[in-house]
Structure 1
């Protein structure tokens, strides 16, 4: 699966991730107890997760989804984006 980042210092960055499900936070362990990025949407396709969209916790979900739409992530990864309302 591909991790996609919206906002923050790694805005518009992508990286490959192992596993069947994306972690709720990235990186999973920061050492500070405060996550740098949180999972905001998951793109499903072909029976599995194709992409995971992360953003800084303070970024509004509407902004993340708007930017993901502008970047055409769903089409690029042939996925249906499912927004998450993660705390």
Structure 2
């Protein structure tokens, strides 16, 4: 099970894993703006995952949903179900 830091640095169980589809990423940086502890643009202006547990699930999902090209997939770790994009 993955854990993330909560608002008071207490471990919070996370159930989502994120994956960047590099060919779709245009470097809009909305993911980094919403979940900067999980995403960072690299030298090629492509989103990299810096820490799967950097943000809570809701922030990771919101970051993925904010991507204009749907370049971020969100997977439920326990079930393998793709949460985003549908």
TM-score (norm 1): 0.31
